[in-house]
């Protein structure tokens, strides 16, 4: 069924046992309802929304900051804010560009690639490594966790356990060290007089990994697919680089990859439905952005759209702190790719498969293009 058609039915539905909650969940569809739940921290909590504690034995940490409620959340958020400041992101431009060009230099001469596995995530992780203070040469080690876990394969629980062990190892390396970057700073910063416990530090490291790599790679995949399908668009973006920014905005609006959720803290009415304390509520950003009441002709991809109502990065106190990083990476990746490989397409017989869940993504994006040795590193 087409996403937009879901808006024709009931605005709030109950769906039975699902990957998010085996007891079933409320599914919200209207942008106004999704936004109001995200803003309403009196009646809804983020505590436990990852479900990690239910899947991984001996893990009782919260994923910080996303599962933290008030007042703890405020301290975590203030601590993180400087690392995501516009000036800091602008300073990273050169190094992100260099990494993106390295990836293009690797796949360009082959005349084709599977963009998701061979390029998207290697580009997406570049700014992440800079902010977190991790060495880009270890990209492979970190990419496999978020991408594998969000794929919901059979080995998901094992991969999660492995990721937690990797985060524990990193925590021990960083504790007491003078290493740079957000992860070392978190591990060694006192909150309310005490440095974070091992469980809290692991919860922070794991969430940073889950939040900041797969989401960007997934969105970049949709950007590339859109360009691969539309020669006029490619030509326009190449000849008018100023249009790359509105193009990125429309990609973010049309392909919002995250679906998050909340638990009901106290009974509350949403639309015509009364939700009970303990109920789970799924909040898909794709439903919000495709709501015709929020954006006219929501399924059309239109770079000329101008102002939109989008919830791609959420709303309220948990709104994405990495939105500027995501925008910067997307802009740079599109610019650099078009400079090096102006013409590319999806081979006719290529199957296009997407995964759904917490982060929607193409599982593969085969591209073909004339062999190029462009992209100077």
Residue-wise burial string across 147-179, b where 16 or more C-beta atoms lie within 10 A, e elsewhere? bbbbbeeeeeeebbeebbebbbebbeebeeeee
* Interaction between residue 320 and ligand HEM (CB under 6 A): yes
Of 288, 374, 291, nearest to 337 by C-alpha is 374
CB of 368 to ligand HEM, least distance (A): 26
CB of 281 to ligand HEM, least distance (A): 11
How far is the C-alpha of 166 from the C-alpha of 68, rounded, in Å? 22
89 neighbors 345 (Cβ within 8 angstroms): no
DSSP string, 92-107: THHHHHHHHHHHHHHH
Per-residue binding letters, 143-182, with ligand HEM (x by CB under 6 A): ----------------------------------------
CB of 239 to ligand HEM, least distance (A): 26
Query: Out of 6, 103, 167, 216, which residue is the one contacting ligand HEM (CB under 6 A)?
Result: 216
* Interaction between residue 186 and ligand HEM (CB under 6 A): no
CB of 204 to ligand HEM, least distance (A): 9
Query: Out of 295, 312, 331, 372, which residue is the one contacting ligand HEM (CB under 6 A)?
Result: 312
CB of 235 to ligand HEM, least distance (A): 25
Nearer Cβ to ligand HEM, position 21 or 219?
219
CB of 65 to ligand HEM, least distance (A): 4
Of 3, 54, 119, nearest to 263 by C-alpha is 54
How far is the C-alpha of 106 from the C-alpha of 87, rounded, in Å? 30
DSSP string, 16-63: -S-SS-TT-EEEE--HHHHHHHHH-TTTEE-TTTT-HHHHSTT-----
* Interaction between residue 21 and ligand HEM (CB under 6 A): no
Contacting residues toward ligand HEM, per CB under 6 A:
38, 46, 65-66, 77, 128, 131, 211-212, 215-216, 219, 257-258, 260, 285, 312-314, 318, 320-322, 325-326
């Amino acid at each position: 069924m087409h996403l937009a058609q879901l808006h024709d039915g009931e605005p709030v539905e109950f769906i039975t046992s699902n990957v998010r909650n085996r007891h079933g969940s409320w599914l919200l569809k209207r942008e106004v309802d999704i936004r109001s739940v995200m803003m309403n921290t009196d009646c809804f909590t983020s505590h436990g929304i990852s479900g990690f504690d239910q899947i991984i034995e001996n893990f009782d940490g919260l994923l910080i900051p996303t599962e933290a409620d008030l007042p703890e959340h405020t301290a975590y958020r203030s601590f993180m804010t400087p690392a995501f400041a516009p000036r800091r992101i602008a300073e990273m431009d050169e190094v992100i560009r260099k990494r993106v060009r390295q990836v293009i230099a690797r796949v360009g001469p082959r005349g084709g690639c599977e963009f998701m596995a061979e390029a998207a995530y290697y580009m997406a992780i570049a700014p992440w490594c800079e902010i977190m203070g991790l060495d880009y040469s270890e990209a492979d080690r970190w990419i496999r966790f978020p991408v594998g876990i969000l794929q919901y394969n059979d080995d998901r629980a094992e991969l999660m356990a492995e990721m937690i062990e990797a985060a524990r190892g990193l925590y021990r390396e960083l504790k007491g060290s003078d290493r740079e970057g957000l992860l070392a700073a978190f591990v060694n910063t006192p909150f309310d007089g005490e440095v974070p416990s091992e469980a809290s530090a692991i919860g922070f490291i794991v969430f940073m990994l889950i939040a900041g790599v797969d989401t960007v790679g997934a969105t970049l995949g949709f950007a590339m697919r859109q360009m691969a399908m539309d020669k006029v668009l490619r030509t326009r973006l190449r000849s008018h680089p100023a249009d790359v920014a509105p193009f990125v905005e429309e990609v973010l609006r049309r392909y919002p990859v995250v679906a998050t959720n909340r638990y009901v803290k106290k009974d509350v009415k949403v639309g015509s439905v009364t939700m009970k304390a303990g109920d789970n509520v799924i909040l898909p950003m794709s439903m919000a952005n495709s709501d015709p009441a929020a954006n006219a002709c929501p399924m059309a991809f239109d770079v000329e759209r101008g102002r939109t109502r989008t919830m791609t990065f959420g709303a309220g106190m948990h709104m994405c702190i990495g939105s500027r990083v995501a925008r910067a990476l997307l802009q740079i990746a599109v610019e650099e790719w078009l400079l090096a490989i102006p013409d590319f397409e999806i081979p006719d017989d290529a199957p296009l498969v997407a995964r759904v869940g917490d982060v929607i993504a193409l599982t593969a994006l085969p591209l073909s293009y004339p062999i190029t040795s462009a992209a100077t590193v």
